[in-house]
Structure formats: structure tokens, C-alpha cells
């Protein structure tokens, strides 16, 4: 084993050793690593480890630590050039192609990069020691190749009120006690990707704050099995198919999305060595923006990788159904590729336009990163719509594999679900279920709200658009400031 890199099997073994408190459908889950509801998410993360060892992906998924010089997995790396940012996008696309699903590690990776820079800035202004604490933690993450979640989103309660104005202060995670050896926090984080199969959570505040919100300005790391930490797994579209069905799951090995959960902090203790912000409300906006920029940069990578798989499934289905040569089908397939590659261009552009922060690490261009994510909220839906259009109504009415295997009616399902005579009905069924999983329900909602809703991107675009510069350009061309002679 290379120091700083593990394989998928070792990741699974680690999951067996930790004992987080997790609930799903009223059941307390004893083993994340083997439970059918979680196994696809475990498989997807395990692939991020195994692909880093594969010769054809090694260059994309590994790099050198700027702290130790050791070879590490890209998901524990701090970006130090625009080339690093571009490599990240290409790696995400490759992983999306191989999983057809969310592989979860990018959120924690983005959190590492955001916190790295903000802790440095806080120390420079306030003389604190957050950055050195974070460097010690980062060395541990790299040495152990840890999969950690990035936990930012709070339940928020009444969204018209700030954190300190809430009737129930627990609607935003906050500090309830400071001790000599650490802090105690209470609240929750919602929709946290990979929460149930991560090894720990890197927690960040979710919105800009004022002085009255200082108790809510907290950033820290906590192991997944810390006392008082409770995980409530979220429902996913057709999730009960995971118990007993194979074909009906669509993507049986890697699932639909990233295994999101509600994470409850019921008076959880965090030692000071893992606290990276505590009360510095004036730095929260920078932390949120830098994390959001890094995460929105991703979406033209991972979502395009998923789109590659979806487009392939749609093209294959058109062949099975005998429509692949029809001009209107070919036109729709080309439009799907055009939309996907447009998103990829956006992610590459914001990466190439990245720049160095005072800490020395690089951040993608915030304006272009937000444009990337806003386009995802539209283009991915259009790609899905075209896939459903080409698939036909059978996408929503396909009989179950249980009926296909039934001794009485199975022969009819097999007979009447055939398309091209030389191709088995099973092939058509498998393609339809894959397209269904990728275009119906949970996966699309994640494209809309993952890394923030469309309005969040519009707000950032409004802030970054440089309106005065654009106005001056127009005034110059129109000669508005020139006086007649």
C-alpha cells in the first residue's frame, strides 16, 4: 500500500469497524457496509479508491501532496494551480461515466479546500491558530485517505429569519457550550451526501451571519460514530427495489444518487484540535462562497459523466427498439450530446479562469462556477426529457422483473417487450430501468438543488457580474460622458 492511498476493500473494512447510529424505515442499521439500502453508495465510494490504482485512471485520480510530497488520492488534495482544477473536473467526469451515479467524495474534498483558505485568512487577521490545526487534520486525512462528508446545509426553520432569530435555535447548528478541551454543538445538517457511509463529517455554517449569530459560526470535524450523532437516511425513488430486485433497480451496483441523510447533533462534543471556526461570523460568507464555488465547479464534470452513460443507454435503447436511424431520434441524441458538452465547457472554463487565494491554494472563477451550476439545473432536465422522449411511454409502465420471471405470465412479458427480434427482451428491460433511475425523481432533484438551488446561483451571479464595469462600457460606446464642443 502507498502511504496516503487505500483500496476499496480497505474502505469497506473501515466501515465495518465504525459504529455510527443510523436509522432507515424505522430500523436501526447495524452494518452500513452490507445493508442493501446502502450497498450501492458504498460501492460507488469504493470505486473512487480502486480507480486510483488502475493504470488507465491513475493520472486523473492521483497527485502529490503539497504537504508531504507523498502520492495521494485526488480527493484529499488541495488545489495549487488551474491544472489541478481542470484535473478535478476530468476526474469527476471519468467517475460519473463509470458509476452512473453520485460517488459522494467531492463534497468533503471541496470542504477541505474552502476551509484551508479561510482558516489561513482568519489567522492572518486575528492571530488565531485555526490553520495549523487544519493542516494537522489534513495530513491525517491524506495519510489515511479518509472519505469525509461535507456538511453545510442546515434545516433553516423560518427562512425569513436569521439563525439567532429562530424560535427554535436548533434549526441552525450552534455551539451550546465551550469547555477547556472543546465545544458542544447542537442542531442538524440536512441532505448530507454520503453521510451514512462516510467515516466523518466536515461541518460548515450555511449562510452569511451577523454578530448576533456568532454561536452559529462554527466549523469542525467529527467522526461518524461520535456520541450524540444520529443519522436518519433519506428516501429515494424506488428505493424498496433494492431489497430483492436486480433489473428493477436500474443501476444495481451504484444506485441513483449519493445516499443523503439528515444528520442530528444531539449535544455532540468536539475537541479543540478539530475546531476550525468558532464565533468568527465575519468569515462565514467567505467560507460559504468558496465552498459553493468549488462544489458548483464540479457539476459540469460529474453530471456530464452521468450524462455520457445516460446518452449511451438512450442510444442503445433506440437501437433495440429499431428507431436509431430515424432522423428525429438522431437529432435528439445529438442535442443531448450538445447540452452535455456545453456543461463540460463551463466547468473547464471556470477551472481555467481560477486564481490563487492568499493561502496559496486555487479557487475556480466564482462567476463562471455559478453559471456552470445554473446551466446544470436546466440542461440536465432537458437531457432527461429527451431520453424519456426517445424511450417512449414504456419507461413508466414497464412490468416488473418479478412478472417477467413468473411461471404463468413471464412468457408474455418476454414476448411482448421485445423490440428488434434478435435482441432479448431482458436487454430492453435493463436499459429502460437504467434510464428510469437516471431521469425520474431523486436524481433530477439532486441536479436542481445539489450545491444550492438555482436562486442561490442567481444571487452569486448578481454579486459577481460587475455591473458598473458593463455600464461604463456602454457609456463609453454611447459617448454619454462626452460634452458637446
49, 172, 299, 315: the catalytic one is: 299
Annotation marks residue 80 as catalytic: no
48, 79, 106, 344: the catalytic one is: 106
CA-based nearest residue to 150, from 115, 182, 175, 123: 115
Decide: helix, strand or coil at residue 128: coil
24, 77, 82, 102: the catalytic one is: 102
Strand partners, 139: none
Strand partners, 64: 71
Q: What is the DSSP-derived secondary structure letter of residue 26?
A: T
41, 79, 116, 260: the catalytic one is: 260
For 119, residues 6+ apart whose C-beta sits below 8 A from its C-beta are: 130, 131, 133, 134, 276, 277, 359
Annotation marks residue 193 as catalytic: yes
219, 302, 346, 350: the catalytic one is: 302
Decide: helix, strand or coil at residue 364: coil
Annotation marks residue 260 as catalytic: yes
Q: Backbone dihedral region of 72: left (phi > 0), alpha (psi from -120 to 50 degrees) or beta? A: beta
Per-residue exposure over 85-94, b if at least 16 CB sit within 10 Å of its own CB, e if not? bbbbbbbbbb
Rounded-to-integer distance, Cα 435 and Cα 451, Å:
23
Annotation marks residue 289 as catalytic: no
Q: Do the Cβ atoms of 277 and 133 come closer than 8 Å?
A: no
Backbone angles phi, psi at 114, to 5 degrees: -70, -45
Decide: helix, strand or coil at residue 233: strand
Rounded-to-integer distance, Cα 375 and Cα 379, Å:
6
Q: Do the Cβ atoms of 238 and 434 come closer than 8 Å?
A: no
Rounded-to-integer distance, Cα 362 and Cα 356, Å:
4
Q: What is the DSSP-derived secondary structure letter of residue 216?
A: G
Q: Do the Cβ atoms of 39 and 322 come closer than 8 Å?
A: no
Quick count: other Cβ atoms within 10 Å of Cβ 370?
A: 31
Strand partners, 27: 24
63, 119, 193, 206: the catalytic one is: 193
Annotation marks residue 191 as catalytic: no
Decide: helix, strand or coil at residue 222: strand
Cell digits of residue 368: 463562471
295, 350, 377, 436: the catalytic one is: 295
Residues catalogued as catalytic: 102, 106, 193, 260, 295, 299, 302, 446
Amino acid at each position: 500500500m502507498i502511504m496516503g492511498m487505500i483500496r476499496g476493500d480497505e474502505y469497506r473494512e473501515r466501515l465495518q469497524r465504525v459504529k455510527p447510529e443510523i436509522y432507515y424505515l424505522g430500523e436501526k442499521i447495524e452494518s452500513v457496509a452490507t445493508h442493501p439500502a446502502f450497498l450501492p453508495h458504498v460501492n460507488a465510494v469504493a470505486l473512487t479508491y480502486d480507480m486510483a490504482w488502475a493504470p488507465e485512471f491513475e493520472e486523473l485520480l492521483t497527485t502529490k501532496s503539497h504537504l508531504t510530497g507523498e502520492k495521494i488520492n485526488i480527493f484529499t488534495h488541495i488545489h495549487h494551480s488551474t491544472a489541478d482544477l481542470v484535473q478535478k473536473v476530468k476526474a469527476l467526469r471519468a467517475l460519473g461515466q463509470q458509476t452512473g451515479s453520485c460517488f459522494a467524495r467531492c463534497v468533503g474534498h471541496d470542504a477541505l479546500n474552502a476551509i484551508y483558505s479561510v482558516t489561513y485568512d482568519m489567522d492572518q487577521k486575528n492571530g488565531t491558530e485555526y490553520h495549523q490545526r487544519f493542516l494537522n487534520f489534513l495530513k491525517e486525512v491524506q495519510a489515511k485517505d479518509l472519505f469525509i462528508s461535507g456538511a453545510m446545509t442546515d434545516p433553516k426553520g423560518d427562512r425569513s429569519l436569521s439563525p439567532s432569530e429562530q424560535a427554535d435555535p436548533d434549526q441552525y447548528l450552534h455551539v451550546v457550550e465551550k469547555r477547556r478541551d472543546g465545544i458542544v454543538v447542537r442542531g442538524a445538517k440536512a441532505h448530507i451526501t454520503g453521510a451514512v457511509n462516510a467515516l466523518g463529517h466536515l461541518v460548515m455554517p450555511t449562510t452569511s451571519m451577523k454578530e448576533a449569530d456568532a454561536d452559529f459560526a462554527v466549523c469542525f470535524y467529527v467522526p461518524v460514530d461520535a456520541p450524540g450523532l444520529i443519522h436518519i437516511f433519506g428516501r429515494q425513488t424506488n428505493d424498496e427495489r433494492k431489497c430483492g430486485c436486480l433489473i428493477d433497480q436500474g443501476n444495481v451496483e451504484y444506485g441513483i444518487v449519493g445516499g443523503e441523510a439528515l444528520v442530528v447533533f444531539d449535544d455532540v462534543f468536539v475537541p479543540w484540535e478539530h475546531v476550525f471556526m468558532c464565533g468568527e461570523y465575519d468569515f462565514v460568507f467567505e467560507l460559504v462562497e468558496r465552498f459553493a464555488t468549488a462544489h458548483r465547479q464540479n457539476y459540469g464534470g460529474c453530471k456530464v459523466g452521468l450524462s455520457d452513460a445516460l446518452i449511451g443507454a438512450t442510444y442503445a435503447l433506440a437501437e433495440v427498439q429499431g428507431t436509431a436511424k430515424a432522423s428525429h431520434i438522431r437529432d435528439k441524441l445529438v442535442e443531448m450530446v450538445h447540452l452535455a458538452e456545453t456543461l463540460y465547457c463551463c466547468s473547464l472554463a471556470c477551472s481555467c479562469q481560477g486564481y490563487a487565494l492568499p493561502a496559496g491554494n486555487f479557487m475556480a472563477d466564482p462567476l463562471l462556477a455559478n453559471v456552470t451550476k445554473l446551466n446544470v439545473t436546466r440542461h440536465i432536465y432537458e437531457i432527461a426529457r429527451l431520453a424519456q422522449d426517445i424511450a417512449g411511454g414504456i419507461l413508466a409502465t414497464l412490468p416488473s422483473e418479478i412478472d417477467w420471471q413468473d411461471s404463468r405470465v413471464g412468457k408474455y412479458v418476454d414476448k411482448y417487450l421485445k423490440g428488434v427480434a434478435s435482441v432479448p427482451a431482458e436487454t430492453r428491460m435493463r436499459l429502460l430501468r437504467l434510464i428510469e433511475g437516471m431521469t425520474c425523481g431523486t436524481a433530477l432533484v439532486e441536479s436542481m438543488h445539489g450545491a444550492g438551488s438555482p436562486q442561490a446561483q442567481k444571487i452569486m451571479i448578481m454579486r459577481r457580474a460587475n455591473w458598473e464595469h458593463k455600464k461604463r462600457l456602454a457609456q463609453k460606446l454611447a459617448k454619454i460622458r462626452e460634452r458637446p464642443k
